[in-house]
Structure 1
Amino acid sequence: WRILPADEREQLLVDFNDTSLDYPQQQTIHGLF
């Protein structure tokens, strides 16, 4: 059984989890914050 309709499930699993972000490659982890 699926609780969510397919479009809402897609939004939760794919759209909201698209958190990729470009960041400066030469920056240290501490420097990013």
Structure 2
Amino acid sequence: MVAHTERGVHGEVIRIISARKANAQERAFYHEAQT
């Protein structure tokens, strides 16, 4: 996943999801948050 370019909450979310190797649901949730 592309990470480390966002800051603040979104940056933390990316890092957490990446660390957890996000499943499809988590990726979908994050994608929704970005739109």
Larger Rg: 1
Which structure would you say has the larger RCO, counting Cα contacts within 8 Å and 6 or more residues apart? 2
Q: Would you say same fold, with TM above 0.5?
A: no
Relative to its length, the structure with more helix (as a share) is 2
What range describes the TM-score normalised by the shorter chain of this pair? 0.3 to 0.5
TM-score (normalised: structure 1): 0.36
TM-score (normalised: structure 2): 0.35
